[in-house]
Amino acid sequence: MEIIQTVQPALPYVQIILSVLLVASILLQQRGSSLGGAFGGDNFSSAFHKRRGAELFLFKFSIGAAILFTIATFLNLLV
């Protein structure tokens, strides 16, 4: 319980930093897929798209930032 109480003052700042990083990583991702395939459009090229390089890094980074943000939020609720 001591660890949570020592981390408590820093949690709001951690949440702000994680939220900014999460928003930035989501906005930097490519907008490759659209709803054209759902309405009969020819959108088969986006269905078989493989992420590589920076796009894969941004994808994994956004997942990690979302998980860390969720953990920080639950820790803030517990304290």
Q: Which two tokens stand for residue 75?
A: 């820790």
Instruction: Convert the pLDDT of each residue in 14-44 to its tens digit.
Output: 999 999 999 999 999 876 555 555 555 555 5
More confident of the two residues 35 and 55: 55
Contact 28, 21 (CB under 8 A): no
Number of domains in the chain: 1
Give the Cβ contact number of residue 48 at 10 Å: 6
Q: State how far the Cα of 21 lies from the Cα of 29, in Å rounded to an integer.
A: 13
Banded pLDDT at 13 (limits 50, 70, 90): very high
Res. 46: pLDDT tops 90: no
The per-residue DSSP string of 26-50 comes to HHTS-----GGGGGT---HHHHT--
Domain range for 21 is: 15-28+52-79
**Mean pLDDT taken over the chain:** 82
Domain-located, residue 33: no
Domain-located, residue 37: no
